[in-house]
Amino acid sequence: MHAIYKKLESFIKIMNYKYLRPMIDVIVIGYGNVGNHLVDVLFSNNSVNLKQVYNRSIEKINHLASKISITNSFDKIFDADVYIITVSDDEISTVSEELSIKNKLIVHTSGSVSMELIASKRKGVFYPLQTFTKNKEINFKNIPICVEANYESDLVLLEKLASLISENIYILDSFQRKKMHLAAVFVNNFVNHLYHVGHTICEENNVPFEILHPLLEETLRKIKDIDPIDAQTGPAKRNDQKTITSQLEQLSEAQQKIYTSLTDSIINTYKNHG
């Protein structure tokens, strides 16, 4: 019951922001993969005033100049409600120090970096959990946005901003977000590398990779309905050593290491699963 009241309280605060504060002034700092997509979605939202975009290389954002103020100088950054830093993890602390902005909310978009690295009294996180590629369209409405702030009022502001562009908002602290990002590396980055290995095997043997598309789609559909541990199939799940040995013989040395590591992990998982 307490959790329901907390959700209701948060909803009321967001609605208050919606009607009492019709426009949120935002500045995006950085124009990489994440910044590129954030700029697009924020600019197109009527409840957000994207006042400015900063990037170290002005050439990369010159095409925005006709519709948004741009700069490559920290001394020329405008006043805003929220400053969203979208640079690499290693640069977050340095960039926040160079901003030299007082009593304004500064957030980063990293999945694995603590908000404490931000050199500001008011700090937070605005992390869209998705893989971003420039010039690849994406629907922000479906993207989970994880928010965190060290002040309740700032958390409400971030919830409001997130709710304007997404239907999936999660409040996670830095520890939870770090673990969630770790899980994302496994289900996205590592899985994508396995797609690459499979694509290479297909290409080397004149087999169209598209044949595997229905299998990939069904795997994703299945784990939306049942836990991955119950969805597992294949020779490792069955501990089919004859098939495993045959497949290992077909692989390069590098591919064998991946295959063996994953096979051993699956065998051990189901040996203990019962």
What confidence tier does 269 reach under pLDDT thresholds 50, 70, 90? very high
What confidence tier does 7 reach under pLDDT thresholds 50, 70, 90? low
4 or 136: which carries more pLDDT confidence?
136
Quick one: 192 and 96 in the same domain?
Answer: no
pLDDT at 213 over 90: yes
pLDDT at 233 over 60: yes
Quick one: 246 and 137 in the same domain?
Answer: no
Quote the pLDDT of residue 139. Answer: 86
What confidence tier does 5 reach under pLDDT thresholds 50, 70, 90? very low
Give, to the nearest 10 degrees, the angle between helix 241-249 and helix 253-273: 160
176 φ/ψ angles, rounded to the nearest 5 degrees: -65, -40
Percentage helix, strand, coil for the chain under 3-state DSSP, each rounded to 5 = 55, 15, 30
Among 154, 172, 190, identify where a domain stops.
172
* pTM as predicted: 0.80
Quick one: 134 and 24 in the same domain?
Answer: yes
Quick one: 22 and 39 in the same domain?
Answer: yes
Q: Is the dihedral of CA 115, 15, 180, 126 positive or negative?
A: negative
Quick one: 228 and 129 in the same domain?
Answer: no
Question: What is the rounded distance in angstroms from the CA atom of residue 64 to the CA atom of residue 28?
Answer: 12
Q: Residue 129 in 3-state DSSP?
A: coil
Quick one: 259 and 198 in the same domain?
Answer: yes
CATH number at residue 31: 3.40.50.720
**Structural domain total, the chain:** 2
Among 124, 150, 172, identify where a domain stops.
172
* Domain that residue 88 falls in: 2-172
Quick one: 125 and 210 in the same domain?
Answer: no
Quick one: 156 and 23 in the same domain?
Answer: yes
Stretch 11-17: mean pLDDT: 54
Quick one: 109 and 205 in the same domain?
Answer: no
Among 139, 157, 172, identify where a domain stops.
172
Quick one: 183 and 133 in the same domain?
Answer: no
Quick one: 24 and 116 in the same domain?
Answer: yes
Cα 18 to Cα 21, 61, 140, 266: the distances in Å are 6, 30, 19, 49
Stretch 239-254: mean pLDDT: 96
The mean predicted confidence, pLDDT, of the chain is: 90
What is the side-by-side order of every strand in the sheet holding 24-29?
69-71, 48-54, 24-29, 82-85, 105-108, 123-128, 144-149, 168-171
CATH number at residue 185: 1.10.1040.20
Quick one: 187 and 155 in the same domain?
Answer: no
**Would you state the structure tokens that stand for residue 48, as one six-digit string?**
């957000």
